[in-house]
């Protein structure tokens, strides 16, 4: 169990506050379990799997931390759900060192009275008080399917997305390609993020065809590729690579006005410079079932991050 002893002589303020913390919390202990990020190689979908399921020798799979747990609810009525967002604050008399040394592919989730939560920030540290405040939110109900406590519920041989994303993940000859909003932490260029907005997928074949192999339907996507770290020659070669792949495999076709390349302006004021950011935009036609076959064929050349090598 992690205790309040930080190895630093208590000041008067620190001693009083820690005594009060122990009284208020009634020596409460919160248990945290370590999870490992697992990415489906077909479409880049992220799951968090209980680390001890992947490696029985996992270091510090469970942490018991003494502290005071607070939460408050903020209920929202939305189009597809009504959610009570649970905002979490955990105050402890010691820094939870294991949180700081975790690699990006790991995360600790805490559990308290059926609330599963994680922390996104550490705030309001005052050295004389020597109390640590961790803040975050409970896991949204819609996200519970991404938390895996049994490998039986994780099907490693299926595709989740219904758009053309698996095509773009496999076209990674020039740089690693990630789904939008799922780019791992602190990735250095070159890399590419593929964004396909939900409103940009439309049908070209009104009635799907169904046979023994599955459901076939001709679709259209508007694709935006956000590229970092490639110069003009690189990006033009990448465009030619996309065109060649559309001819070679017959999995997708380029339609509409062709391929648009534009420069972005991603700034950082501390450096007084801009990143090498470019946008590649195009419309494509594809068959949803054929995309699945394409993903299966190119499974060995997809996302170069923590895949499912440990998942049976």
238: part of which helix (H) or strand (E)? helix 232-249
Q: What is the dihedral of CA 16, 125, 108, 103, to 10 degrees?
A: -140
Q: How many C-alpha atoms does 130 have within 13 Å on its Cβ side? A: 20
pTM: 0.77
pLDDT of amino acid 124: 52
The predicted model gives 97-125 an average pLDDT of: 74
pLDDT of 122 strictly over 70: no
Tens-digit pLDDT profile for residues 263-287 = 999 999 999 999 999 999 999 999 8
More reliable by pLDDT, 85 or 260 = 260
pLDDT of amino acid 76: 80
pLDDT of amino acid 215: 83
Nearest to 193 by CA among 219, 172, 173: 172
pLDDT of 131 strictly over 70: no
Tens-digit pLDDT profile for residues 163-187 = 999 889 889 999 999 999 999 888 9
Q: In whole angstroms, what is the distance from residue 277 CA to residue 265 CA?
A: 7
pLDDT of amino acid 156: 54
Q: Is 205 left (phi over 0), alpha (psi -120 to 50) or beta?
A: beta
Domain boundaries, the chain: 12-153, 165-301
List phi, psi (to 5°) of 93: -85, 10
pLDDT of amino acid 296: 61
Cβ 283 vs Cβ 223: under 8 Å: yes
pLDDT of amino acid 206: 93
Tens-digit pLDDT profile for residues 213-267 = 778 899 999 999 999 999 999 999 999 999 999 988 778 999 999 999 999 999 9
pLDDT of amino acid 307: 42
Tens-digit pLDDT profile for residues 2-35 = 444 444 444 565 554 455 445 554 567 888 899 9
pLDDT of amino acid 117: 87
Q: In whole angstroms, what is the distance from residue 266 CA to residue 74 CA?
A: 34
Confidence of residue 308 (pLDDT cuts 50, 70, 90): very low
Tens-digit pLDDT profile for residues 35-77 = 999 888 778 888 999 999 989 888 889 988 877 777 777 888 8
Residue 219, beta-bridge partner list? 203, 286
More reliable by pLDDT, 161 or 80 = 161
pLDDT of 107 strictly over 70: yes
């Amino acid at each position: 169990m992690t205790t309040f002893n930080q190895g630093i002589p208590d000041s008067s303020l620190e001693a009083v506050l820690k005594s009060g913390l122990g009284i208020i919390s009634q020596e409460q202990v919160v248990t945290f379990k370590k999870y490992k990020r697992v990415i489906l190689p077909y479409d880049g979908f992220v799951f968090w799997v209980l680390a001890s399921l992947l490696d029985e020798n996992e270091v510090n799979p469970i942490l018991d931390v003494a502290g005071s747990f607070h939460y408050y609810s903020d209920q929202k009525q939305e189009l597809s759900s009504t959610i009570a967002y649970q905002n979490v604050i955990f105050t402890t008399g010691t820094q939870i060192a294991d949180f700081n040394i975790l690699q990006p592919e790991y995360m600790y989730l805490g559990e308290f009275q059926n609330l599963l939560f994680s922390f996104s920030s550490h705030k309001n540290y005052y050295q004389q008080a020597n109390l640590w405040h961790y803040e975050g939110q409970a896991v949204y109900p819609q996200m519970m399917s991404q938390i895996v406590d049994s490998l039986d519920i994780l099907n490693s041989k299926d595709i989740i997305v219904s758009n053309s994303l698996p095509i773009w993940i496999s076209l990674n000859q020039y740089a690693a390609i990630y789904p939008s909003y799922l780019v791992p932490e602190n990735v250095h260029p070159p890399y590419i993020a593929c964004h396909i907005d939900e409103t940009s997928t439309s049908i070209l074949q009104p009635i799907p065809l169904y046979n023994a192999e599955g459901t076939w339907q001709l679709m259209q996507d508007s694709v935006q590729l956000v590229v970092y770290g490639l110069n003009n020659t690189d990006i033009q070669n990448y465009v030619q690579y996309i065109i060649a792949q559309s001819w070679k495999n017959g999995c997708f076709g380029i339609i509409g006005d062709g391929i648009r390349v534009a420069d972005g302006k991603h700034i950082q004021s501390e450096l007084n410079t801009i990143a090498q950011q470019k946008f590649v935009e195009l419309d494509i036609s594809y068959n949803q079932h054929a995309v699945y076959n394409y993903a299966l064929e190119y499974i060995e050349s997809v996302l170069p991050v923590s895949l499912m090598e440990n998942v049976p």
